Every structure is written in structure tokens, then in C-alpha cells.
Structure 1
Amino acid sequence: MIQSILVPTDFSENAGLALRYSLAIAKRFDCRVHVMHAFTAFQSSFQNEASNREDLIRAEQEATEEMDSFLKTETTEDLAIYISSSLFKGNIVEAVAQAITAAGSDLIIMGTKGASGLKHTLIGSSSFEVAKSSPVPLIVVPEETQNFKLEQIAFLTDYANSDINALKTLKGLFGSTKSSYRFFHMKLSEEDSSETDRHILAEWVQSLKKIVPLDNVSHELVQGEESLALVNEIAERNNIDLLVLTIRKKNFFEKLFQKNLVKAIVHQSKTPVLILQIAV
């Protein structure tokens, strides 16, 4: 199960939401939470080395102070036992890669909107880039999130063999929880083929259950054009707590949805999204 959660932060309100979400999971699974921040300092070839070094020291000091303030604001005394923190110089994608190794993290949780300005990294605009490069699963938490449950998990399937590895990853993360898994397949089709499509989906889910035993599994064929609106409608109608998307490592663009739709879901879903990179 989950051992260590990495939470990149730019000290924004939504980064605080992501931290609270992480702490709720940490309390449930008794795991660690490591909060990291990527900072940059003004460096110029027109300045001497001493001035550049002073700017770097100043930037790191400011980041340290902001990290301390952020953790005090977002953490209660009983949850502080789960937390550690660190700072990394550089861009967010490179810093996350370093932090995963340093903290031994097996899950990343990020907010979808971050602070703006030169002082901070835009966490929200970087979550998609982190998702593409991260060797571990990533949960993106939208600002609309009001609960931190994992009771209803939705899995969007396109009948690829990568579904098997994705389910194994989910079970490895959450163990034998009481979560209910609901599989959805979106298909733009007429009523003539709907019965056949439902049968195919049912057979696929049954075959998955034989390979990766899971309780509380159901499925639904959803007719309609693949779109963010349809994804949000599915999640809202079924009270979904976590939406699972799979990215295949073999070819990032060879996946369930077209690139722009995946990016829209990551940034604009009203439900937390778990992004899994699966080798095929």
C-alpha cells in the first residue's frame, strides 16, 4: 500500500487543499507525506558570482520561511507527525523527479491551480507536465473538491491490456479497501449496437476481475461523444470520489482520449483524477 505521498506546493490555496487531501489519505493508510517546493533565484551573467550567490541564498531563505508558514497554516498538531518537507532549486518537473527519489514516494498529489508571478511555480499549469514524466501515479485535486473519500472510484476503460496493470497498480496503492469500482466505456453509437456494446463491456470487466480480484465492481456503457462535459456528468451522477485515467508509456498520445481532452480533464475535472502511466 501507499508508503509515502509527495505534495508539490507553491503555497497557494489550492496547494493547501492538495495537502489536506494528502493528510486525509495519510491518516487512513498510516503513510508519510513529504511536501516539496521548487524555487528559482534571479541569476545573471552581468552580476558577479558573489551577487548571484546572495540572490540564491535570499531565494532559499524566503522559500524556507514560506514553507514554515504554509505548514503551520495547513496542518493541525495531530497531523504534523505525518509530514516532512524540503526545497529544490529548479523547475517543478525536474524538482519532482528529484523529490520522488529522495523521499521514496509512491504517489504524488497536486492541486490544479497555483499562485502566479515570478516568485512561485505555477503548480496548476504544471500538473499535466508532471503527469507525463512522473514514474509514480499522480492525483490531481481540483478546487471544487469538498471531500477526501475513496469510496467510489471510476475507471474509464477502452478495453486495452494496460487496464490489467492499471488495476494492479490501484490495488497496490490502496490495498483491499472498501472502495467500489465502477467501469465506464464511452462510445458514440446508435441503439442498434448498444446491446452488443454492453455485452462486450460486461465480458471485459469479468475478465479483469478474474486476473485482479476486486469486490464491489460494476460497469456502465455511456453513449455520447467523448468530452469533458460527459466525464464530469458521469462523475457527478455516480458520486465519484476519484476518476482514474491511464496513460500508456509506449506512446503518450496512444491512449483512451485525444491529447487535448486528457489535458482538459486533468485541469478542469470537478473530481480528483488519478493518472497512471502504464507500460505496454
Structure 2
Amino acid sequence: MSTYLVPVDFSKTAEHAAKYAARLSYAMANSKIILLNAYYVSEYESILPTPDMVITTEEHIADEISRRNKALEKLKLKLLEINADADIEISLTRQTILRSIIDRINREKIDLIIIGSNGKKAKEESDIGSNAIKISKSSPVPVLVVPPKAHYESIRKAVLACDFKKVKEVIPMQALKNILSKHSLNLQVLNIDAGHKVNSEEEHFLHDMLKDFSPTYHYSSHPDTIKGIVKFAKSEGAQLIIALPKKYSFFESLLHESVSQKLTIKSHVPVLLLKD
């Protein structure tokens, strides 16, 4: 069974990601969706009044928990309209969202975290979308970031972007195999550092590591790396971009919020942050 963890805060962004997960579960047999909402009240909130002079009492907390559980049930019903046979669990925790995600991962096998990305023109910004990069930094499992305009398509072609440097340290082979073994993908490997001389030894290592997936290799000389990746993915008709945010990799910079937000906002397809 594939289990998808979808953190939600009842924003349009989070609902969009949840609907993507429902469509993915429809395409993937024997899968489960966990809708996770975190309601954390700090010690200070229970002592000090809010700016409008309201103190968070136990009664207020109980009412808010009831409201959130009803909202989770409502969202679950929306997802069941997409996939009537979906196995959907709702979960409300009293910890921070990051702690809630890590605790859930520690308790059971989670295959993928699906998060919505806030767009530049988002009318309603999601707190979870704003923290997508922080979550991807801490998560030991892959994180799929779904841009605002990205809609589910059967994943037939994926772009794996890397800089052909220290490939043995950079390519998370086990995580990559886990993804590729579940999808019959046409893998396009894009060298995003083609303006520099390619190390033939590193290139040989990469070809040898990925030979079981029969990828095709391409080279980008676009002056803007992010635009180059997005333009290539669009020209190839890819349904997924795979990024490798790991030490020594160019994509280590994807864990810097400004760069990764550019990629997830400008990309027309979901971006998979893949780590070992």
C-alpha cells in the first residue's frame, strides 16, 4: 500500500493538494490518504489575550477542535467525490505541523508527503504552503510540491535535473528506485550546468547508475537555471520535475526558500524533492 500524507490548513492551496492526492490515489491501486491538521496552542496563548483581547480558554479550544474535525470530514467528502473508493483517514493533532508530520512518519510508513505551493497571485495564502521548504528540509521521505496551476495527469515522463557533479553522493538511488519502480516513466536527465565542462568520469558514473531506467540525456545552457528547467519540462511534455536537494548538489539551493519557491511557482507541473 502507498500512503500519502497531506497536511491541510483548510486553505484553497491545501485543498488543491488534497484533490491532487485523491486523483493520484485513483490512479494508484491500494493507496491511502491521511489528511493531517495541526492545532497548536502555545502556553502563552492560554495565558495572554489576543490583540482583540480574547483569551484562549479550554471551551474555545474544544469549539475549535470540533470545527476543525467537521472541516476535515467535509474535505474528506470532497475527495470521495473524486475517488469513491479512496481509503481516507482524518487526523487532528495538538502539536505544530512540523512535529505532527515527523511524529506520523515515525509511527508508520509514509511514502509521500503532498503539499500545495502558494502562487504569486494566491488570494488566500496557506501557512503550510509558506512552510513547504521547511517541511522538505526536515522530512525523511519525499515531498511533492503541487503548484497552484498544476492538475493531476498520469505521470508518463519525468525530468531529473542535476549538475553532473559528485553524482555518487548526490543521486539518492534507493529513493529514486522506489519512485521509478511504481511508475513506468520515460526519464529525461537534464544537465543544468552545461555551460561548464562536463567531467567525463562523473558523466560515466551517472550513465552507469541510471542504466536500468534507460533515460535520455539532455544539456541546458539557459542563463536562468529555473527557467531552463521549466522550459525544458514544458517542451518535453513532462508531468513531473525531480529535484535532488542534497549536499554538493546544485539543488542544495532548492532548500533555500526563494529559489525553490520560484521553481514550484513557475513550474506547470509538480516538483518532487527527493532525498535518501
Unmatched 5+ residue regions in structure 1? Answer: none
Are 1:179 and 2:185 counterparts? yes
Which residues of 2 match residues 137-216 of structure 1 at below 5 A?
137-159=142-164, 160-164=167-171, 166-175=172-181, 177-187=183-193, 189=195, 197=198, 203-210=204-211, 213-215=212-214
Match of 1:223 among 195, 205, 221: 221
Is the Cα–Cα contact under 8 Å of residues 151 and 269 in structure 2 kept in the other structure? Answer: no
Q: How far does the alpha carbon of each residue in 1:113-140 deviate from its partner, in whole angstroms, 9 at most, with x for none?
A: 28858xxx61210111100000110000
- What residue is the counterpart of 1:242 in the other structure? 240
Distance between the aligned counterparts of 1:15 and 1:228, measured in 2? 24
Distance between the aligned counterparts of 2:104 and 2:67, measured in 1? 20
1:237 maps to a residue whose letter is: S
Which residues of 2 match residues 54-133 of structure 1 at below 5 A?
54-76=59-81, 78-113=83-118, 122-133=127-138
Distance between the aligned counterparts of 2:82 and 2:133, measured in 1? 33
Q: Give the secondary structure class of the aligned counterpart of 2:238.
A: coil
Unmatched 5+ residue regions in structure 2? Answer: 50-54
- What residue is the counterpart of 1:25 in the other structure? 24
1:37 maps to a residue whose letter is: N
- Judged with a 3 Å threshold, the aligned counterparts in structure 2 of structure 1 residues 80 and 36 are, in CA distance, closer, same or farther, namely farther
Distance between the aligned counterparts of 1:90 and 1:96, measured in 2? 9
Q: Give the secondary structure class of the aligned counterpart of 2:86.
A: helix
Q: Give the secondary structure class of the aligned counterpart of 1:97.
A: helix
For these two proteins, the number of residue pairs brought into alignment is 259
Q: Give the secondary structure class of the aligned counterpart of 1:206.
A: helix
Distance between the aligned counterparts of 1:176 and 1:109, measured in 2? 17
Q: Give the secondary structure class of the aligned counterpart of 1:10.
A: coil
Is the Cα–Cα contact under 8 Å of residues 117 and 265 in structure 2 kept in the other structure? Answer: yes
Q: CA deviation at 1:97?
A: 1.2
- What residue is the counterpart of 2:7 in the other structure? 8
Q: CA deviation at 1:264?
A: 2.5
Distance between the aligned counterparts of 2:193 and 2:10, measured in 1? 40
Q: Give the secondary structure class of the aligned counterpart of 1:150.
A: coil
Q: TM-score, normalised by structure 2?
A: 0.81
- What residue is the counterpart of 1:36 in the other structure? 36
Q: How far does the alpha carbon of each residue in 1:154-195 deviate from its partner, in whole angstroms, 9 at most, with x for none?
A: 11122321344x2321221342532111100112528xx6xx
Q: TM-score, normalised by structure 1?
A: 0.80
